[in-house]
Amino acid sequence: MAEVAIGIDLGTSNSCVAIARPDGVEVIPNAFGENTSASVVAFHEGGKITVGNAAKAQIIHSPGRTVYSSKRLIGRYFFSEEVKKAQAICSYRIVEGPNHSVRLQVADQQYSLPEISAMILREMKQVAEAHLGHEVTKAVVTVPAYFNDNQRQATKDAGRIAGLEVLRILNEPTAAALSYGFGKGLTQKVAVYDLGGGTFDISVLEIGTDVFEVLSTCGDTFLGGDDFDDRLIDLLADEFSRTHGVNLRKDPFAFEKLKVAAETAKKNLSIDDEVEIRIPDIAKNDAGESLSLERQVAHDEFASLVMDLVMRTFKVCDEALQQANLTVRDLDGVILVGGPTRLPLIRSAVGDYFQKVPKTDVDPDEVVAMGASIHASSLIQPEQNAFLLDVTPLSLRIGVAGGLAETVIERNTPVPIEQTRTFTTFQDYQERVKIRVYQGESRQAEENELLGQFEFAGFRKARRGEVEIDVTFAIDSDGLVKVTACDRATGQQASTEITLSSGLSDEEIENIIERGDTERVHTPSLDDSAELPVPAPTPPPVAAAAPPPAASEPPPPVAAAAPVAQAATPPAGPAGDEIVTLDEPGDDLADDDELELVAGVETPPAEMHKQALEVEDEGAPEDPVPLEGRPAPETPAVEPSAPTAEASEPVESLAGDDVTEEYLGEAGTDLSQYYDDSEKS
């Protein structure tokens, strides 16, 4: 039998699995004949786990044991905004795990987010296996284009936990474009408008006969169909509170009923002009009387509730078009992705914005999984490929002195790519530097997502500004990031390489796999109503359980680190000689200058001295400020002729934090201002 690989759209609200075969792409229905399954995981008494639409029905009965919209939390830190927001509205318990990670507390057990996603992936895998009649081990899994590296890593980990080899983490809009344009011999520029349950993405692509080039992608991970529901929920809850004096938000059962009703109403508004919401006996008042909620909602009223959210999506579209250097008139088509795009108000607003009727020939709930399956099949059969050229959605930055973050790879740069920038030490005879890696669009380090940090030591000790450290950032085709630091002047290969972590170490992942919770996912099957062989639920593990003697097949080795004594130490600790710490991200920026990096030399190794010789007589507009009592760094770091704004005055950069900030601040766009000032003075 030929090797097969499936495509899985792991959505915030719903997931979908498809397979591409020579005779076409097929969306695989579950045992109930549904093409999509709710991304909801229900933990039943007795250990059984179910996923899908039946699990979703559990929300009302056991809100604390039913996990939904978990994609909003994957790859996030516990202190992030999104987690706080989720804590306020979710009925399951969100707790803090090691390294500021997020854990979900269900009954007496804690689960990491990759585990929850793994359960959904396991369900999709089993749905495919039941349909195909054989095992499936390979998949392409999609993520929102705007997912950062932490979120991508966590998704990849989820695949591994679910027993899948993830061939590629593919961006959802790219998958949709593939599904739309594959094999049609098109030459078009298209926009993919992807409004999902929890995220909004827009990608602009150029489709050629066999190549799909993403020109730009932008998004908002805080905007989705769920926010539309929330607006309706707010309206209903506020009205109810005014009329009856009862706050439905305080009653988890009532609130879940309200949520279900609001979501159903929204969906029906895709078909009908007006819907009636009716929830009998939703709550009791102080007198103990039973109260019901009844409300008519017209499409227009709903539209006015959410129009500002819709407009927010177009701001993002503006940005994407600008990044692609195109206008709406340059586009040949708009593809809609995601359930909420069924709403007439979205369709007409999108039509108005793009000045063309959106393509609706592919089901917006299935188009992503179909595209993923097409890519999956071309990855295992390289001869029949349409190849994808994607971009990185977020700028990759490195933390420098003054709490700032310097761009190393700008957003919307095609991948795979590798870029090196050279940095220097901040103090005399500094022994170590801490390299912090961020993703995001802010010059203020803390406003970006911290991907990870590591210490680099063992380089030549010298006066500040004399040590040159090359920091190389690489992004692979999955959009995953690798960072390497290397002292170049000594020629010594003291480089440290890390793969930034999702918060789960290899060891933790292995423990999770061994614990086998995801194997408790029970997928109903059509042909045999009898239970599938489900392993008996394992007892909740003791903190550091010894591995079973007959260890099941180990997962593929990642990175190195010789097998450390199993889980005897807390898994959070760094393995071997890798120094990967994720403690106190964001708030320890100023803790010790000793570890700061300063942007200094901009030029790559070989050219630097050449550049230094080309110093123009003009010099910098202002004289470099000498450092009190310290010699100014040697030429390479001062380097007035380097074509970057930063490099024109590196001496100031070394004078101290405040000055550094000023000088780094102008690296962006404000050059003209600078020159004006210097002339006036």
Partner 1 sequence: MSDVLAPTEILALANILDELDYYQVLHIRPDASASAVRSAFHQSSRAFHPDSNRHLDADHRQAIGRISKRITEAYTVLRDPRRRRAYDEALRGGRTRMQIAEAEAGARQQATDELEGKTPNGRRYSAMARTDVARGDLAAAVRNLQTALTFEPANAHFKTKLQELKGQLEEERRKKRPAPF
User: Which residue numbers are catalytic?
Assistant: 9, 71, 172, 194
Least distance to partner 1 from the beta carbon of 608, Å?
10
Binds partner 1 by CB under 8 A, chosen from 527, 565, 610, 681 = 610
* Residue 379 or 564 with smaller CB distance to partner 1: 379
With a CB cutoff of 8 Å and minimum separation 6, the contacts of 77 are 83, 100, 101, 102, 450, 585
Quickly list DSSP for 5-23: -EEEEE-SSEEEEEEEETT
CB-CB neighbours of 532 under 10 Å? 13
Binding-residue pattern over the window 161 to 200 for partner 1, x denoting contact by CB under 8 A:
-------x--------------------------------
CA 245, 56, 272, 12 torsion: positive or negative?
Answer: positive
Q: List, in sequence order, the alpha helices (H) in 406-446.
A: none
Binds partner 1 by CB under 8 A, chosen from 417, 457, 494, 632 = 417
Stretch that binds partner 1, among 64-72, 84-92, 208-216, 282-290 (CB under 8 A): 208-216
Whose CA is closest to 198, among 43, 78, 86?
A: 86
Binds partner 1 by CB under 8 A, chosen from 577, 618, 628, 658 = 618
Whose CA is closest to 436, among 392, 393, 401, 390?
A: 401
Considering only residues 224 through 283, tell me which ones interact with partner 1, judged by CB under 8 A.
none
675 lies in the site for partner 1, by CB under 8 A: yes
Binds partner 1 by CB under 8 A, chosen from 205, 369, 408, 467 = 408
Tokens of 55: 């699990």
Q: How far is CA 169 from CA 10, 477, 554, in A?
A: 11, 8, 22
Stretch that binds partner 1, among 89-97, 217-225, 234-242, 405-413 (CB under 8 A): 405-413
202 lies in the site for partner 1, by CB under 8 A: no
152 lies in the site for partner 1, by CB under 8 A: no
Whose CA is closest to 117, among 80, 89, 153, 146?
A: 153
* Residue 361 or 618 with smaller CB distance to partner 1: 618
Q: Bridge partners of 650?
A: none
197: exposed, middle or buried (Cβ count in 10 Å: 0-12, 13-18, 19+): buried
Percentages of the chain per state (helix, strand, coil), in multiples of 5: 35, 25, 40
409 lies in the site for partner 1, by CB under 8 A: yes
Q: How far is CA 521 from CA 230, 300, 326, 473, 646, in A?
A: 30, 42, 47, 38, 55
* Residue 493 or 669 with smaller CB distance to partner 1: 669
681 lies in the site for partner 1, by CB under 8 A: no
Least distance to partner 1 from the beta carbon of 278, Å?
52
2 lies in the site for partner 1, by CB under 8 A: no
Stretch that binds partner 1, among 170-178, 193-201, 496-504, 636-644 (CB under 8 A): 636-644
Query: Do 130 and 518 form a contact (C-beta atoms < 8 A)?
Result: no
Binding-residue pattern over the window 356 to 395 for partner 1, x denoting contact by CB under 8 A:
----------------------xx--x--x-xxx------
d(CA 378, CA 394): 27
d(CA 423, CA 408): 11
3 lies in the site for partner 1, by CB under 8 A: no
32 lies in the site for partner 1, by CB under 8 A: no
Least distance to partner 1 from the beta carbon of 549, Å?
33
484 lies in the site for partner 1, by CB under 8 A: no
Edge-to-edge strands, sheet with 66-67: 49-51, 41-43, 66-67
499 lies in the site for partner 1, by CB under 8 A: no
Considering only residues 296 through 325, tell me which ones interact with partner 1, judged by CB under 8 A.
none
597 lies in the site for partner 1, by CB under 8 A: no
643 lies in the site for partner 1, by CB under 8 A: yes
* Residue 352 or 418 with smaller CB distance to partner 1: 418
Edge-to-edge strands, sheet with 211-220: 333-337, 188-195, 200-207, 211-220, 387-389
Least distance to partner 1 from the beta carbon of 423, Å?
13
* Residue 210 or 272 with smaller CB distance to partner 1: 210
Task: Return the CA Rg of the chain.
Answer: 27
Least distance to partner 1 from the beta carbon of 652, Å?
17
441 lies in the site for partner 1, by CB under 8 A: no
Least distance to partner 1 from the beta carbon of 318, Å?
20
CA 307, 309, 314, 315 torsion: positive or negative?
Answer: positive
Binds partner 1 by CB under 8 A, chosen from 29, 64, 416, 537 = 416
Buried b (16+ CB within 10 A) or exposed e, 439-473: bbeebebbebbbbbbbbbeebeebbbbbbbbbbbb
* Residue 122 or 421 with smaller CB distance to partner 1: 421
Least distance to partner 1 from the beta carbon of 604, Å?
6
Binds partner 1 by CB under 8 A, chosen from 207, 474, 481, 637 = 474
Considering only residues 419 through 438, tell me which ones interact with partner 1, judged by CB under 8 A.
419-421
d(CA 107, CA 482): 37
d(CA 335, CA 354): 11
Stretch that binds partner 1, among 152-160, 261-269, 599-607, 651-659 (CB under 8 A): 599-607
d(CA 169, CA 174): 11
**Total residues contacting partner 1 (rule CB under 8 A)?**
49
What is the SS3 string spanning 216-253? EEEEECCCCHHHHHHHHHHHHHHHHHHHHCCCHHHCHH
Binds partner 1 by CB under 8 A, chosen from 87, 105, 270, 477 = 477
Q: Are strands 36-38 and 14-21 parallel, antiparallel or unpaired?
A: antiparallel
Binds partner 1 by CB under 8 A, chosen from 606, 628, 658, 681 = 606
* Residue 525 or 641 with smaller CB distance to partner 1: 641
Whose CA is closest to 148, among 437, 563, 514?
A: 437
d(CA 509, CA 172): 25
Place of tokens 């201002």: 673
* Residue 310 or 372 with smaller CB distance to partner 1: 372
d(CA 437, CA 450): 6
Least distance to partner 1 from the beta carbon of 148, Å?
20
Binds partner 1 by CB under 8 A, chosen from 414, 570, 626, 631 = 414
Query: Do 76 and 70 form a contact (C-beta atoms < 8 A)?
Result: no
Interface positions with partner 1 (CB under 8 A): 168, 208, 210-211, 213, 378-379, 382, 385, 387-389, 407-410, 413-421, 474, 476-477, 602-604, 606-607, 610, 614, 618, 642-646, 667, 669, 671-672, 675-676, 679-680
